[in-house]
Structure 1
Amino acid sequence: MNDEQKEKQRVAARERKRKERARKKAHKAACGAHTISFELFRGTRKCLDELMEAGGFEQQSELFTLLLHGVHREMKRDKSWFLDLVSIEKLNSESSVKRDRSRFQDSEECDKSQ
């Protein structure tokens, strides 16, 4: 194979890859894909690992998707169940780590640090 043929193959490969990326981008746009990124601390990471192991999940995104849809379905059936599930007070009473609701709200201290 000469240099001209090799260059034609490289150009064709680049074009195939460009088209593949464009298809993936169009698919994500059509489906309304949205990327979420956030930090997990040790205790939350441990919970995530245990949930993934219990459900046999390999991908975190699959677990999050199924959890969100399941919780949403249950919330539609019984909103009090949902409110109990996300209760900071209940979490505090059952956990050795105390959480403060104000951590989840905007604060002047956070604004000053930026």
Structure 2
Amino acid sequence: MAGRHIFVLRPDPERIDPYFLAGILRGSRNLRHYTSMSTSYRVDVRRAEVPLLPIEEQRACGEAFRRLEAFQSALRRTAELGEEMTRVVTGGLADGGLRPARSGG
């Protein structure tokens, strides 16, 4: 255990794909299974269920999980940039530095 409620998992890459393991642990089935709700959100990875698949299947699933994580990160970054742009444009309109385009020519 790395700290209070922090676990370090070091899977043997010849036996289990690390991206596969991470994806399975983040999956809704395991979240329902090993999450306890009280006054705080806690996860007990020792209760997680990880399917035993051949390593090649794990690697294929792991790559899909990795790509989904990258996609989710890109979506978060896009949302952050959109919020920043909205703040800048709102500020520009409010202080008179920007004017809306006239419609109807």
Larger RCO: 1 or 2 (CA < 8 Å, sep 6+): 2
Bigger helix share: 1
TM-score over 0.5 for the pair: no
* Higher gyration radius (CA): 1
TM-score (norm. length: structure 2):
0.30
